[in-house]
Amino acid sequence: MRNKRIVIVSFILIIIAIFIGYRYYKINDGIVKEYDVKGYSTGEVIKLDDIEITAKGISSESEGDSEIIYTIDLTVENTSNKEVDIKPFYYKSKLVTNNIILDVPVGRNKEQKEDLLKQKEERDIQIKYSIPKAYKNEYFELYFPKEMYSKEIEEVFKEMKMHEKYVALSLKK
């Protein structure tokens, strides 16, 4: 009688373990397991869906009492035959330094009123970030908005990889 009870309990525990393992596998089946991060250097042409970007560099524009304003200079070229909205560069680009992610730029140069880039048009743009003086650094990474290269992200995702692009920047001296 006792052996029969041990066999039944063991059988139930094995069934529960198989069920939990199966559920764990099914839940994690569609989860990205690898990261594909492509880094570029200043001056390199970076191809996104409908545009090409060249980062010219980063400079320290002004220093206040507690913050430093950094300005990133980019050249953006529309390579498509349609107008492209470049507003995401101003509002969704992320600057990373010292393990700090700055995802809200503080501004752009005042001459940049137009957010649509006409077909085959090239334009110089600037994005500004404010960083506390305590985190002053000379090396930065600018991550581009994912919606600007969503076709490439979809292709890489088919291989179960997360895809991201950034440009490495060094402070101009």
pLDDT digits (tens, 9 = 90+) for 43-81: 899 998 888 999 998 888 766 777 888 888 889 998 888
The four Cα atoms 128, 133, 134, 139 give a dihedral, to 10 degrees, of: 50
Distance (Å, whole) CA 58 – CA 36: 25
Run of H or E including 134: none
User: With DSSP H G I counted as helix, E B as strand and the rest as coil, what are the percentages for the chain, rounded to 5?
Assistant: 25, 45, 30
Distance (Å, whole) CA 104 – CA 100: 12
Could you read off the pLDDT of 136-162 as tens digits, one per residue? 878 889 988 888 888 888 887 777 788
3-class DSSP state of 48: coil
Distance (Å, whole) CA 107 – CA 161: 33
- Helices marked H in the chain: 2-27, 87-92, 150-157
What percent of the chain clears pLDDT 70, i.e. is strictly above it?
Answer: 90
What is the strand order of the sheet 34-41 is part of? 34-41, 161-170, 139-143, 94-97, 100-102
What is the strand order of the sheet 67-78 is part of? 45-47, 51-63, 67-78, 122-132, 107-108
Kindly tell me if the per-residue pLDDT of 135 is higher than 80: no
Distance (Å, whole) CA 56 – CA 43: 6
Residue with tokens 């006409």: 118
Of 167 and 98, more confident: 167
Among 16-20, 34-38, 92-96, 102-106, the range with the most confident prediction by mean pLDDT is 16-20
pLDDT on residue 83: 87
Distance (Å, whole) CA 133 – CA 59: 15
pLDDT on residue 84: 86
